Chains A and B, each alone.
Chain A
Amino acid sequence: MGREGMNAQHLSNGMPELKAAALAADLPMNEMFSADGHPRPECARVVNYLLSMDTRRLAELGERAHEMFLRMGVTFNVYGNEDGSERIFPFDPVPRIIPAATWSEIEAGLIQRVRALNAFLADIYGDGAILKDGIVPRDLIIGSSQFRHAAVGIKPPHNNFVTVAGIDLVRGSDGRFYILEDNVRTPSGVSYVIENRVIMTRLMPELIRTLKVRSVEQYPADLLASLRELSPNGKSDPAVALLTPGPFNSAFFEHVFLSQQMGVDLVEGQDLVCADHKLFAKTVYGLRQMDVIYRRVDDDFLDPVVFRPDSLLGVPGLTAVLRAGNAVVANAIGTGIADDKAVFAYTPAMIRYYLNEEPILPIVETHLLRDPEVCEFVLRNLDRYVIKPTGASGGYGVVIGPQASSLELAETRARILRDPAAFIAQPVVQLSVHPTLAGGTGSTLAARHVDLRPFVLLGAKPRVLPGGLTRVALREGSLIVNSSQGGGSKDTWVLEN
């Protein structure tokens, strides 16, 4: 191909505009290009590869990926959508690169963090030392809707409360990774990480080989190993199952996927029964005792005897079985208190308190509106903050001050005044951007905001999936990357070296 042809493609796929934008000051970090407009060293090969393609080829890659996902049934369900509720999680074929050195720091930071969160849970559902020592205010914990009194005194094997964690990271304009929030209840998304890679190995096999991208396929085996390490009563060959709310749950595909990959039963609440302080599955030949349950059902629905009595998704009497030590659920009951958005502010203190270490990864600055002075200051500058309800997850109820209308701001103010303790405020982080197919036919590459959700497993030892789920806000300028709010995903490539 001649020089001219190369230039024509060069112009058509949007890359020069991206370069120019990266040069402009006062912008979010561009993960592929440095401020001088050159590709970052670890991205040079990918950039060259993308330059070698015209718009149509790129769009074709996107469409092929979409088609593959649909045929494979890699879908999620959207709540409150009656017509054809199955959707594809939009996939962007432009990969995100994380060099080895950057990743090893993130990995160390994640392990440190999950260890501290786990120690915190073991503490507050046990002796409560951190409350007695006044590091975390007692009323913040005991008063939280996420604190489960039913979990006090239940001791899981190895004091392991958090077996699976998904930690959301964002990259600031300074290029550093910050913790945005923790997910230690029933975090989802890992199946997309694995399926995204399956697709990418078909779309860009040579690139993956030459770049030495670290594999992600080990995750299900690691998850199973971690679950087996939780075996109660020292059983050497525990019966493991994945408990799902059922086919209407938004993450049902993932439940199917993981149980299939691990080779364990996918059970619903109606498949299980408690008797004699033991847990059983109803099989065609009668009852079979179960030992470890990877549950993807929220606390509220897990046991109608203890939590919501109207729940049909759970297993009556399960909490009593756990208390007797005859079965284990992962994650343990009550872990939601550790990813409460107000408790988040105390996580650096937890790391220092339990591990006697300095936090490796910083958190996004977080203000608790339960403090009247803080609340007053934030209310005066509402258009400069992101406001989040403390109890919710999945991006629901989040208000981004600079992008909110005056009506939205007024409503938010009213809600805060009604119950200040139910909210936190964070400064707006200029999430880093990444070249992304802007969508539609004739699409070009454009900068879109991204975040990262790595997955951490904690069994007898920690295991971290290399990379994680990169979510991308497909709408221009949008900072919300959640799949429920129009986000998509990218494959994340952690390089071997």
Chain B
Amino acid sequence: MLRRIADHLYWAARYLERAQWRSRLVDVNYHLNLEVPPRMADPWEPLLGITGEREMFAQRYTHADEASVVDFFTFDRENSSSIRSCIEAARTNLSALRNTISSEMWLQMNELYLDSRQWSPGLLASEGFSSFFTDLRNHFYSITGIIRSTMPRDLSYDFLEIGTMLERADNVARLLDVKYHYLLPRLEDIGGPSDGRQWAAVLRSASALEAFRKLYGYSIRVDRVVEILLFDPNFPRSARFSTERLAASVERVAAQNCGHLPHQLASDNLLALLRGSSASQAITDGLHEFLLKVEEQCSTISDALFSEYMTLG
């Protein structure tokens, strides 16, 4: 496989995951704040913290309210991480891959892209916020479903998987970092009852609410939220699960090179970090510090894979 192709696969997958992630953030926050009373005076502003885009936002919008943040996250062409821009970027990368990916995947991606070109903020009013984001989510589910059911499990699949899982682990760490900071100023609240609606929304942003209830029942405790989002080996959006999948792909890619494995893989440290800790320990030692390590490891892995397999030099 050409190095440039590996690069396109990696980025296409990251952008798709990012677009998907952001559409859930916006959708969940919208529904959270439909009913009174919102916990915070300005319920949309914290979203900018999760994605680390306060500065970029402030350069072009005066006030962070529903209309401006939704526009920034969804439609804004100038924001390279808006859902629209991510879709376009994913599609640009995939267009260089049309003889690598399945034609079904291309058709679905192209359809989403063509739709997104017609988007405007007015669409949310005319179509309804919910149905817009439900449609969008279904589009993403079709694409990921098509990838799973049409692509051979070869190098191409592994590079897609690497991009997806890195983005996913990174996103969940950032989400938790920001929400924890906002929602939990006092240590004694840990393990006790907390703002259930807010934490339910956090879980919902990671599609984890139903899985949580199955595991832990109705009442939401913060350490259990941390457990399912970071350390659960079975929940498909946890940092641990994503890293296991990432590591498996990294290992397959490495193993196919003349059949021997290097003694150190790029994903080893992150995997050890997540396998070797738990919610209670991470919280005791300082969750923010732990999450920073996760985020750092994500970018270290990315850099290592780039120089090993993707840069053209």
Contacts and interface: CB of A to CB of B under 8 A. Distances in A.
A92 interface: no
A395 B114 CA distance: 31
Nearest to A241: B2
Given A247-B96, A282-B313, A267 B2 contact: yes
B85 to A, nearest CB: 16
B4 A270 contact: yes
B106 interface: yes
Contacts of A268: 4
A268 B4 CA distance: 9
Nearest to B155: A284
Contact of A271 (B3, B106, B111, B117): B3
A66 B1 CA distance: 34
Given A259-B99, A284-B310, A247 B92 contact: yes
Contacts of B96: 247, 266
B99 A256 contact: yes
Interface stretch (A14-22, A27-35, A67-75, A204-212): A67-75
A77 B186 CA distance: 58
Given A72-B107, A73-B110, A271-B312, A283 B99 contact: no
Contacts of B313: 282
A284 B309 contact: yes
Contact of A73 (B1, B95, B99, B309): B95
B99 to A, nearest CB: 3
B106 A73 contact: yes
A284 B110 contact: no
Contacts of A283: 1-3
A282 B2 contact: yes
A281 interface: yes
Main secondary structure of the interface of A (DSSP, over half): mixed
B253 interface: yes
B79 to A, nearest CB: 19
B104 to A, nearest CB: 11
A283 B311 CA distance: 10
Contacts of A247: 92, 95-96
Q: Among B3, B107, B155, which residue has the most Cβ atoms of chain A within 10 A?
A: B3
Contacts of A281: 2
Interface string B297-313: 00000000000011011
B99 A284 contact: no
Given A247-B96, A256-B98, A256-B99, A71 B312 contact: no
B257 interface: yes
B6 interface: yes
Interface string A428-460: 000000000000000000000000000000000
A377 interface: no
A73 B94 CA distance: 12
Contact of A270 (B6, B99, B312): B312
Interface centre among A72, A257, A282 (most CB of B within 10 A): A282
B99 A260 contact: yes
A259 B309 CA distance: 23
Interface string A266-303: 11101100000000011111000000000000000000
B98 A282 contact: no
A285 B257 contact: yes
Contacts of B2: 265, 267, 271, 281-284
28 contacts: A71-B111, A71-B114, A72-B110, A256-B98, A256-B99, A259-B99, A260-B98, A266-B99, A267-B2, A268-B4, A270-B312, A271-B2, A271-B3, A281-B2, A282-B3, A282-B4, A283-B1, A283-B2, A283-B3, A284-B3, A284-B6, A284-B155, A284-B257, A284-B309, A284-B310, A285-B256, A285-B257, A285-B258
Interface of B: 1-4, 6, 92, 95-96, 98-99, 106-107, 110-111, 114, 117, 155, 253, 256-258, 309-310, 312-313
Interface of A: 70-73, 84, 247, 252, 256-257, 259-260, 263, 265-268, 270-271, 281-285
Pick the 7 closest A-B CB pairs, nearest first: A260-B99, A284-B309, A256-B98, A285-B257, A282-B3, A73-B110, A259-B99
Given A73-B98, A270-B312, A285-B256, 7 more contacts: A71-B107, A247-B92, A260-B98, A265-B2, A270-B4, A271-B3, A282-B2
